[in-house]
Amino acid sequence: MPVNILFAARPERWTTYEQPLRNALKDAGIDAHLATDIAPSEVDYIVYAPNSTLQDFTPYTRAKAVLNLWAGVENITGNPTLKIPLARMVDPGLTKGMVEWVTGHVMRYHLDLDTDILKTDTVWAPRTPPLAQERTVTILGLGALGTAVAETLVFLGFKVTGWSRSPKNVPGVTCLHGAEGLEQALKTAEIAVLLLPNTAATENTLNADTLALMPTGAFIINPGRGPLIDDDALLTALDSGKIAHATLDVFRTEPLPQNHPYWSHRNVTVTPHIAAETRAITASTVIAENIRRGQAQEDFLHLVDRDLGY
Ligand code: NDP
Ligand code: OXD
């Protein structure tokens, strides 16, 4: 009997994912019936995007797991109808994308690239660019993405500090955790990168008090989620020069409303939630492996802790 796999995401995603998923399932040796319309009571696995029309999991009585296409799970962890295991997306392609995006924006700040790129006068004023070893980058969140970013920045020579909920050991990274750890992490953060999930515990991680801990003239890069930052506190810190500039990819409301002050702030760069995207070929391999595991009664990879919310 084939394994029934429901693809529940926006229709355009099906076009992107159908063939890579079929290939990955075949490579994993799974006899699969993959479709966008399977009777709920016959579905074994649900490949899922939280913006799908499927929001009530109650009729999916025999499903073994929901396999999320997104890394962020804040729009599904609270769903009371979801009682089966939920796996978040950890995709090597998405991770590479995030590493490249963050590294690019760190380099913009580190080398002060705007001075030359945005220059409008004709003054020849050489300066000595700093070396990475002179710069501390703090990464809030040392999970799949934060750790990969940290490793790349260490490789480039940056002084890297990371902060997580539980203790971590990442070679070359000063690893801190807990409330005291956050204070220490921010005190030296010339550039802070937010790669935390959106949970009740991480909301407003950067607020008036914690922004005040950062060195004056620090930079912020947020590809995590909008609610990690208290927007009013950040705008105040930007206006006072406490924070020199922020690059924000994610927002409490997306698309960012036309009248939001971030759009026009001279010290804010807005990007439209493009830091990293799940890549169909690599992500399909991860999904197929989880289905193989489910069928073999092995533990699923990347399970979400519903109590912690990530
Ligand atoms: P992970 O779950 O692998 O890592 C999350 C990290 O945050 C872990 O280190 C975790 O600590 C830490 N953390 C969670 N809660 C707290 C807390 N209360 N205090 C301190 N640290 C905490 O997630 P990923 O790295 O895969 O992804 C991170 C986020 O990036 C996603 O949730 C999503 O919001 C965002 N994202 C954004 C994208 C974009 O395009 N802008 C694309 C993909 C993801 P511990 O290690 O101790 O568990
Ligand atoms: C994700 C994202 O969570 O793209 O995967 O933000």
Report pLDDT digits (tens) over 15-42. Answer: 999 999 999 999 999 999 999 999 999 9
Whether the link from the prior residue into 223 is cis, omega within 30° of 0, is: no
> Measured in angstroms, how far is the CA atom of residue 67 from the centroid of ligand 1?
17
Decide if 3-91+278-295 and 93-270 have a common fold: yes
Provide the 3-class DSSP secondary structure of residue 110: helix
- Of all ligands present, the nearest one to the C-alpha of 162 is 1
Helices (H), the chain: 11-27, 92-110, 113-117, 144-156, 178-187, 208-213, 231-240, 261-264, 280-295
> Measured in angstroms, how far is the CA atom of residue 33 from the centroid of ligand 2?
27
DSSP state of 52: S
> Measured in angstroms, how far is the CA atom of residue 33 from the centroid of ligand 1?
33
**Cβ atoms within 10 Å of 115's Cβ, excluding its own:** 10
Q: Which amino acids bring their CB within 6 angstroms of ligand 2?
A: 70-72, 89, 277-278
Cα-flanking dihedrals φ and ψ of residue 113, to 5°? -65, -30
Give tens-digit pLDDT for 260-310: 999 999 999 999 999 999 999 999 999 999 999 999 999 999 999 999 999
Q: Which amino acids bring their CB within 6 angstroms of ligand 1?
A: 71-72, 90, 94, 141-146, 163-166, 195-199, 201-202, 223-225, 249-250, 273, 275-276, 310
The average pLDDT across 72-86 equals 97
Catalytic residue at 273?
A: yes
**Catalytic pick from 88, 108, 225, 245?**
225
Domain ranges, ordered by start, for the chain = 3-91+278-295, 93-270
Task: Choose one of 52, 254, 278 to mutate for the ligand 2 pocket test, by most ligand atoms within 8 angstroms of C-beta.
Answer: 278
Q: What is the C-alpha R_g of the chain?
A: 21
Cβ-in-10-Å burial (0-12, 13-18, 19+) of 292 comes to middle
Angle value at C-alpha 220, between 181 and 229, nearest 5 degrees: 70
Atom of ligand 2 nearest to the CA of 278: 5
Alpha carbons 242 and 250: distance in angstroms, whole number: 21
- Provide the CATH number for the domain formed by 3-91+278-295 in this structure: 3.40.50.720
- Of all ligands present, the nearest one to the C-alpha of 195 is 1
Atom of ligand 1 nearest to the CA of 249: 41
**Catalytic pick from 177, 252, 260, 273?**
273
Q: For position 275, what pLDDT does the model report?
A: 98
The average pLDDT across 33-57 equals 98
117-122: Cβ within 8 A, 24+ apart: none
Catalytic residue at 292?
A: no
Give tens-digit pLDDT for 185-216: 999 999 999 999 999 999 999 999 999 999 99
CATH topology of domain 93-270: Rossmann fold (3.40.50)
